Structure 1
């Protein structure tokens, strides 16, 4: 009887919530496909993959009309691996868990886990391959997929095509404004820290949208748990700018990004002394990244994209160039097929891979028990990748 009573109270609570909200929406998407990946330290891979075009997720979002042009808003969103059902992004609502207020004249304010809404992820707009597996984050080892918790965000209204956004992510550490309070409990700020500790993060974005042009600039900082800029691919300063231009069925992309990590050291990269190749003077403290691309709408159902990305790391860490070709075919408004090819060429002291930093972080392919420590290519070697799959949205 007690259990029945508890369930009844919960049902009444949810009914009250549903009545109070102007709208509550359950949404999501599922992406599963196949992948081929050559040039890895552990050989060639043919396998199944979740999220090649984009991470699978589900979420709940809502808005309540408060009157006078004001609304209360919220979002809870969870990333999932749809091959095995595992929760991703470090926690159940690791992608988003925030509440906010929106005003028609004055803009929007949010607080909570901004997660995958970390401001550098807005570089999506400048990516010819729209954050697919082989795209804008590949040659910077996932830096443009940064995440951050404990956040506050303000977005201005759009005036004459211009809009601004600012974010600030605190650490909740009484003993250090820039340093992490603990090693657990907040979203990480980089691909190797999801669900781990973060130092202070912040950023600002300016965008202009005209009838056929978009101009975008983003500056952000993600610090390590000690409050340092210690890894150019994880905890660093990033300045990014670019543009897109549309005419008819064509859309052109161009952009530039500079990464800086002045506190970088061998230990902050987890690299042992004497293991870097000849000609490398030290770990990278700066990376320059540029790209161009073109999209073409063949017909209402079919779209193709092509792009070239290039990155150069200082300290003798070499450069890499990635060539990509992708395509989508819409089966309906909610479901489409996709495919993408990528070829990544490294100079003699570079070993960037197609894993976006998650399984191929900076450093040599050191082995443990005969198994490679990561799947980066060997220095000076190339990789080829191909994906194909289907995504459906609900």
Structure 2
């Protein structure tokens, strides 16, 4: 009898322990076929009146509707309303099988921390930077052809050496903040590390009818800790050198979602501001104003149709551009969907924003159109989550 009771107790303890701790493996695979025209080349002569031609591209893509990724999450209940959490997540290409560059296996998330239902969640490590908070208010959810395209990726980076705090929900309000160290011998950065100091704060209010969010962040130049940076269009492969306002500075966002039954209306405004970028050549902007709006129609439980417009104004002769896009998705199951998007970006004579969130520059390697020219594309794909 005693042996039976002991066995039952051990089995019960095992059940409790299992309920208190869990590890989940998850992932997402995204692939499709994309076509883009209007990719510019300037190889038909130089000087006034030189001819310019464009080319097109058809490719098997990965991550156009959503980043292909995989990772692990874990939680341990240690009692008293406290939990220990970890999150590991890395991106990869389903087209080539290649993982992220720079030797960063977990380039999106590598965090450990604690959570309490009453006090909130504190995490330490590498994570998506707070500017990704635009995702919930972007009609296309930061797909490859959406809000990031108009600011050349300024609103979707990752951040290392970070501490984040997520508050509980207080009467519909919640607060989220991040603070990332430069880990340099100078607080803001001085060229001894690959990242300058970064920080941000967002406040969200959610109700049954609408949701609003205000977001502020700053990304400092690791070379000198400033809220700006050099712009070198001849060095398009080095984001820290070539992107200028598209990489460093302060970012202010105000965004809204309105829920109208089967329809969701979304809109937002983003202002990117730099400092210390004096003496910039014409065409090298130091500020950006970005606006967008769109509507999602959830036609039924499986099908959604989306239409959106994104617009950007760049100062200092950087021009302006507008991206028009329609698309949608169809869920084959809870884990698998088909997606499609058609988009065109129209540039003023001084701008060359592309459909993708490309670095500045006019060479064909950037994928951008030539100055003042349009770019149009279409893609269709499949996405599976596990």
TM range, normalised to the smaller chain? 0.7 to 0.9
State how far apart, in whole Å, the 1-side matches of 2:360 and 2:60 are: 25
Name the stretch that deviates more: 155-164 or 36-45: 36-45
State how far apart, in whole Å, the 2-side matches of 1:172 and 1:139 are: 31
1:83 positional shift:
1.2
Query: Which residue of structure 2 aligns with residue 368 of structure 1?
Result: none
State how far apart, in whole Å, the 2-side matches of 1:241 and 1:158 are: 20
Query: Which residue of structure 2 aligns with residue 49 of structure 1?
Result: 61
Alpha-carbon RMSD across the aligned residues, in angstroms, is 1.8
Query: Which residue of structure 2 aligns with residue 389 of structure 1?
Result: 381
Q: How does 1:47-126 map to 2 (within 5 A)?
A: 47-88=59-100, 90=102, 91-114=104-127, 117-126=128-137
TM score, norm. by length of structure 2: 0.85
1:89 positional shift:
5.9
Instruction: Report the secondary structure of 2:168's partner residue.
Output: coil
Distance 1:20 1:257, change over 3 A: same
For residues 39-60 of structure 1, the C-alpha deviation after alignment (integer angstroms, 9 at most, x for no partner) is 0025100110011101101000
Q: How does 1:125-274 map to 2 (within 5 A)?
A: 125-173=136-184, 175-179=185-189, 182-183=192-193, 197-225=194-222, 226-229=224-227, 230=229, 231-264=244-277
Query: Which residue of structure 1 aligns with residue 369 of structure 2?
Result: 377
State how far apart, in whole Å, the 1-side matches of 2:151 and 2:124 are: 28
Gapped regions of structure 1 (runs ≥ 5): 1-17, 184-196, 268-272, 274-280, 366-371
Gapped regions of structure 2 (runs ≥ 5): 1-16, 42-54, 230-243
Q: Is 1:330 the equivalent of 2:340?
A: no
Count of aligned pairs between the two proteins: 341
1:288 positional shift:
0.4
Instruction: Report the secondary structure of 1:124's partner residue.
Output: helix
Query: Which residue of structure 2 aligns with residue 5 of structure 1?
Result: none
Instruction: Report the secondary structure of 2:366's partner residue.
Output: coil
* C-alpha contact (below 8 Å) 2:150/2:311 kept by paired residues: yes
* C-alpha contact (below 8 Å) 1:21/1:62 kept by paired residues: no
* C-alpha contact (below 8 Å) 1:27/1:58 kept by paired residues: yes
* C-alpha contact (below 8 Å) 2:126/2:158 kept by paired residues: no
* C-alpha contact (below 8 Å) 1:264/1:283 kept by paired residues: no
Instruction: Report the secondary structure of 2:132's partner residue.
Output: helix
* C-alpha contact (below 8 Å) 1:260/1:285 kept by paired residues: yes
Instruction: Report the secondary structure of 2:292's partner residue.
Output: strand
Instruction: Report the secondary structure of 2:288's partner residue.
Output: strand
Distance 1:375 1:41, change over 3 A: same
1:373 positional shift:
4.3
TM score, norm. by length of structure 1: 0.83
State how far apart, in whole Å, the 1-side matches of 2:70 and 2:77 are: 24
Instruction: Report the secondary structure of 1:122's partner residue.
Output: helix
